[in-house]
Structures are given as C-alpha cells and as structure tokens.
Structure 1
Amino acid sequence: MRSVPTAPFVLHTPDTAPPAARRAMEGATRALGYLPGAVALMAESPQALDGFLKLSALFESTELDPLARETVIMTIATRNACHLCVAMHTRKLTALDADPELITALREQHTLPEPRLDAVRTFTLAVLDHAGAVPAEQLQSFLDHGFTPRNALDVVLGIGAYTLSTLANRLTDAPLDPALTSYA
C-alpha cells in the first residue's frame, strides 16, 4: 500500500477541489479536525463524496445499535481489504469500548465472540454472497437473534454505503491518515 495516491487521482484541498465538493470537505475537516485523505481524493467526484456522506449518515440513523453498525462496516472493510476503513473503524470500535476480542475477530474475519453480532456479520456476508437473495434459513437466523426485517434492510444500506467507500478508497489508493496509524 502506498502512502500517496497514484495518478490520475489528486489529493484535493478545498481550493483545488471542484466547487461542489468544497462544503463536504469543510464539514469533514470540522468534524474530524483534519481533512481525511479519502475525502480529499473522493472530492474529485462531488456526487460520489456527497453520496457516501449522505448514505453513511443515513446508516448511522438506523435502528441498528452502534456495535451492530460497526460490525457491518468492518465486515465490508475486511472483505474488501480497505486498510483505511479497517483502521478508522477499529478506532471507532475502541471509542465505543468494544471488547478487544471482538475487534480482533472482526479484523481477522473470524467468528465473533458475541452470537448476536456474529449474526450481523454472517448475515452481511450472506447478503453479499447471494447478491441480496439471502436463503430463507439465513434470514431467519438473523431474525432469531432479535433483529427485524427493517434491520435486514438497514444492513443492505450499510453495505451500499461502505461498498462505495471501500471501493473508492482502493481505486484512489487512499492513504492512511496519520491520526489512524496506531489503529492500522
């Protein structure tokens, strides 16, 4: 993994980015205290940047609890080998006081120590593996862990948001931000 993206992608600043991306870049900078490299790169397409930010905000507003949402995100991040997302969401899980065993299992794509969260992980993988046509028994297993049909669609929303992010990060070779290096 390189620390600087390769051509044709550019690490934009608010001054060099397309005007339609500038507000989103400034918002990300305010929220995090720095401009993430992934945002600076995705700014090349204001619509992709705006789409990801809106989708991820919608995902954050679902009825899934924070650990369930992070389980979906880390499942996508590890499956798509997005080093940046793995580091960023390891930091978020740490801030949520997640069990270190859970974080390790997510990072290593192993069965999770908490059956409810492992149901989220396996359901997420089933949605991906079956292009949404999840076999009835796998859907029922997810529901048997206390989730609802609404939650199943919330998982699909998370998959969409973080597939966009992980693929864009890999395409642009987004660098690991210094604030995330201890979580890599």
Structure 2
Amino acid sequence: MTSYPMHTVDTAPAEARTPLTVLRETFGFVPGAAAVMANSPVLLNTFFSAFGHFRGGTFTPAERQVLLLSNAVANASEWAVAFHTLEALADGVAPEVVDAVRRGARPGDPRMAALSGLTVAFIEKRGHLGEADVKAFTAAGFGEGQLFEVVAGVAISAMANYTANVAGPPLEPAVEPHAWTAGTGAGA
C-alpha cells in the first residue's frame, strides 16, 4: 500500500480536481495512479492533457490499449498492467493478445505484435531504434507518422507507470481480477 496521499476529487488540490472528476465519471472511480498524481497538479494535468491528444490520434482503442499494456509490462508496473488489462479487454482486444503481452511475448496477431514490439523496443533501446524495428512496424500496415505517435504513448505511459511504481497504489475492485506480478507474467 502506498504511503503517498491518494486524493479524491474532494481532497485534491484545486488544480487537480477537474481531471479527477472526469476520470471518476469515465471509469466510475478515480484510478489509483491518478489519485497519486494529484499530489502534483503539474503532473496530473500534463498527463491528462497529453492523454487526451493521444486518445484523439490515429490508433484504434484496441491498438492504444496494446501499446499502453506493452509499456506497462516493459516498465514492470503492476498497477498499470492490471488497469490496462481491464481496459484492453473492454476495448475489444482479444484475450489471447492480452495474455501474450502480459507474458512479455509477441501476440499472434501480426499487427498487434508489430505495435507491441515497437513499443517495447522504444523502451528497451531508449529510443535508439534500428532499421529492422521501423520496417517491422511499417510492414504491419502502420504509417511512419504513427511511429511518432508511439513516442507519445510511451511518454504518457511513463508518467502513469512511474507514478504507480513509486507509490504502489492498491488495485481498485474492478481491476483486482487482473492483478499481475512483475517478473512472472502471472495473472489474467
């Protein structure tokens, strides 16, 4: 359990209340990472704004979730893996794709495998992609401009994943069935 304050809409600094309200209305609860981010309205508002732009990008909801789940696994963020498992399944990602990503494996779906692979490569190689990384992504039907959209997703995930890794917020009841432990790929 976290030793950092986990804010609600009522306890958050004034500058953090609007994003927390929107998140509560969207999910039915304030996600734990956002509750902790509210300790820094700068962080929460930056995350919230960036995520809004990312959500309006060219990736489908399922593709966004595969990207975000892949980031969470690569960053060993237990809270984020559980949360994005819930969201991925809700956004129509096939259970076998979710399971593969959670295990750190490439999904059988070639498009999702390319997206997950590029996402993990960005993190593992700290942005120093090789030509083969880019070719595998574009060969799966993604555009070169989407390569930079992945950068946005990686950056957004870093904010949530790192916050959750530092603070260790508890899983929300809706997220608990998707618990995951770093290093094991465990859980569903």
TM-score, normalised via structure 2 length? 0.89
Q: Is the 2:63–2:112 Cα contact (8 Å) retained in structure 1?
A: yes
- Match for 1:115 among 110, 114, 125? 110
Give the alignment partner of residue 2 of structure 2, picking from 1, 5, 15. 5
Answering whether residue 22 of structure 2 is matched by residue 27 of structure 1, we say yes
Match of 1:44 in 2: 39
Measured after TM superposition, the shift of residue 66 of structure 1 is 2.1
Contact 1:82 1:166 in 2 (8 A): yes
1:98 is aligned to 2:93: yes
Residue 73 of structure 2 corresponds to which residue in structure 1? 78
Equivalent-residue separation in structure 1 for 2:26 and 2:64 (angstroms): 19
After TM superposition, give the deviation of residue 36 of structure 1 in Å: 2.5
Aligned to 1:177: 172
What SS class does the counterpart of residue 178 from structure 1 fall into?
A: coil
- 2:163 alignment partner in structure 1: 168
Instruction: Give the distance between the partners of 2:20 and 2:102, measured in 1 at CA.
Output: 28
Count of aligned residue pairs for this structure pair: 179
Distance in 2 (CA, whole Å) between partners of 1:33 and 1:49 is: 18
Q: With the length of structure 1 as denominator, give the TM-score of the two structures.
A: 0.90
Deviations 1:6-44 (A, max 9, x none): 2xx111233332211111112211222222222221100
CA positional deviation for 1:63: 0.7
> Where does the alignment leave 5 or more consecutive residues of structure 1 unmatched?
none
RMSD: 1.4
Mapped contact 2:62–2:92 kept (Cα < 8 A) = no
